[in-house]
Amino acid sequence: MVADALFAVRLTWHSARGALLVPVALTLASAAVPVVIAWLTKTVLDRILLASDQGNVLVLACAIAVAGLVAAVLPHITEFFDGELDRRIGAVAFDRLYAAVERFIGLGRFENPEFLDRLRLADQSAHSIGRLLDAGLSVVRGALMTAGFIGVLFSVSPAITAVVLMAVVPTLAAELALSRRRARMTVEVSPAERREFFYSQLLSSVDAAKEIRLFGIGAFLRGRMLRERRAVDTVRRRTDGRELLVQSVLGALGTLIAGGGLVWAILAAWRGSLTVGDISLFVAAIAGVQAALGAMIGGIARGHHGLLLFDHYCAVVNAPTDLPVPASPTPIGPLREGIELRDVWFRYSADHPWALRGVNLRIPYGQAVALVGRNGAGKSTLVKLLCRFYDPTRGAILWDGVDIRSVAPERLRERVAAVFQDYMEYDLTAGENIALGDISAIGDQARITAAAVRADVHETLAALPQGYETMLSRMFLDEMDKADPRSGVVLSGGQWQRLALARAFIREHRDLLILDEPSSGLDAEAESEIHRGLRAYGDGRTSLLISHRLGSVRDADLIVVLDEGVIVERGPHADLMSAAGQYAQMFSLQAIDYQPH
């Protein structure tokens, strides 16, 4: 936690440097002003009773009024500057967090629920990072104010100081203990809170809405959510109860000590050893110290809680890279010979079974290779390895003989175009949805249209209310957007799929084209059109096509059948059919479905 606190200080210093002087100065001022007011009040009272120079007393009274004015406006000025600082530190913290996320070149972290949880908490921490500074300044302000009152009191009466300290020290110790306990409780309930968050998200998610309604599982999920809520509430109630008890006892004790001290001070004034001003200072000190302690304890609790969240932020920002990146990468050129998987073994973690087991495969330059096989055979996994989203657990993947682990990942990916099974639907304009495939095509309507024509989606997009400028999806629209005629168009599943194809096609001149089930959402007529287009586009280019519709891959130069992570058959369609193995069996089964009954 100390290391996290130091990291937070460095981040704050880096983000706000000069701007930090203002809140620090305001903190010093807001700690000093109440002490100054108490001291001036004491002096005025003493002078009135001594009937000293009236002019002097008036000057002091004016000074109290000015100090009161400062005390009234200081919190608002502080709040304004705290907000400004919060924004500045937050902007830098966000930038660093998502720059760190981008540094993860693979997918492993994003497929790990624990990491995703941590990222969510890190994001929350980046949102509230400025409050750490605010909490720190509250503690400093409270400590300075307490020290100020104690110092002033000590100069008047060491005995009164001792009484105030007696009231203060046990309260501080107990409140600190309670704050630690509350922080532990926060950690204890966080898994249940996360599960509750998961259920609440599910109940309001558009993706889940269809199944929740059709299966009638809303009440079941709500029950699960409330169960987690009740578990959290039980722990919170226990902590609140303990706090109530401790704080009531402390409050009574503090009041007894303060009341006893006040009686003693009045008696001392009666005897003449204290002045009326001393008594006013005593009363102000008790109230001031209590207020300062309250602020300090609040600051400690907020700081502690903030640091616990910040720990997740530090863990993400300082996480090592997920896959080793070569210090001096081997340059990679256009594909000349081919890509080779050499005895590739892969499993997602040591606890998972092997997804690929000793795969040896050559994808020769300029050829179309089709990968087929049952669900879970390892086809998409092989694609992930080709894009270096994961590294093989054993074996190697070679690009013209160069191990892709020795190449800079971004250089490798520049050479690949792909449509993944779970392609993205971006809440952007239709044109942008295509141009994202090659960011240099943003605004280049001719290239965007050419890609759309190739994916056979041009006519659909051109007919939208604002053509390619039409915003897609109704998600995330605010009130202003709703008035905008360009917004609010929702495409069908197959239309989105063609858009994803166009996004891959705009990456023309890439060496390897990967299509992981590019036509699963298309109707039969559309599928045959798309495959004609694919063959034209793939002509002379190296491509890897994954499909469950074997009719669409029969023209491939090489068909590879994967089963439980092992290549069980390979060859052109005709050879595989005459071998009468798994491929021929699957092909015949599908062919029967297309025969008239």
Ligand X SMILES: Nc1ncnc2c1ncn2[C@@H]1O[C@H](COP(=O)(O)OP(=O)(O)OP(=O)(O)O)[C@@H](O)[C@H]1O
End-to-end CA distance of the chain: 72
Minimum distance of ligand X from residue 565's CB (angstroms): 7
Minimum distance of ligand X from residue 375's CB (angstroms): 3
Q: For residues 69 and 66, what is the distance between their CA atoms, to the nearest angstrom?
A: 5
Q: For residues 496 and 18, what is the distance between their CA atoms, to the nearest angstrom?
A: 50
Minimum distance of ligand X from residue 353's CB (angstroms): 7
Minimum distance of ligand X from residue 114's CB (angstroms): 13
Q: Which of 304, 379, 415, 458 binds ligand X (CB under 6 A)?
A: 379
Contact 150, 290 (CB under 8 A): no
Total residues at the site for ligand X (CB under 6 A)? 13
- Contacting range for ligand X; rule: CB under 6 A; set: 46-54, 72-80, 243-251, 376-384: 376-384
Contact 261, 282 (CB under 8 A): yes
Contact 116, 194 (CB under 8 A): no
Minimum distance of ligand X from residue 351's CB (angstroms): 9
Q: Which is nearer to ligand X, 421 or 590 (CB)?
A: 421
Q: For residues 533 and 345, what is the distance between their CA atoms, to the nearest angstrom?
A: 34
- Contacting range for ligand X; rule: CB under 6 A; set: 249-257, 270-278, 369-377, 410-418: 369-377
Q: Which is nearer to ligand X, 13 or 110 (CB)?
A: 110
For residue 563, state whether it binds ligand X (rule: CB under 6 A): no
Q: Which of residues 80-119 bind ligand X (CB under 6 A)?
A: 111
Q: For residues 266 and 450, what is the distance between their CA atoms, to the nearest angstrom?
A: 93
Residue written as tokens 């104010």? 145
For residue 380, state whether it binds ligand X (rule: CB under 6 A): yes
- Contacting range for ligand X; rule: CB under 6 A; set: 2-10, 45-53, 120-128, 375-383: 375-383
For residue 376, state whether it binds ligand X (rule: CB under 6 A): yes
CA nearest 165: which of 177, 176, 151?
151
Q: Which of 136, 299, 338, 378 binds ligand X (CB under 6 A)?
A: 378
- Contacting range for ligand X; rule: CB under 6 A; set: 19-27, 120-128, 371-379, 572-580: 371-379
CA nearest 35: which of 47, 43, 23, 25?
43
For residue 375, state whether it binds ligand X (rule: CB under 6 A): yes
Query: 467 — alpha (psi -120 to 50), left (phi > 0) or beta?
Result: left
Mask: binding to ligand X, 336-365, rule CB under 6 A, as x and -? ------------x---x--x----------
CA nearest 291: which of 26, 30, 79, 39?
30
Neighbours of 211 (CB within 10 A): 11
Mask: binding to ligand X, 303-342, rule CB under 6 A, as x and -? ----------------------------------------
Q: Which is nearer to ligand X, 261 or 378 (CB)?
A: 378
Neighbours of 194 (CB within 10 A): 14
Q: Which of residues 381-440 bind ligand X (CB under 6 A)?
A: 381, 421
Q: For residues 76 and 55, what is the distance between their CA atoms, to the nearest angstrom?
A: 33
CA nearest 563: which of 318, 345, 379, 435?
379
List residues near ligand X by CB under 6 A.
111, 348, 352, 355, 373, 375-381, 421
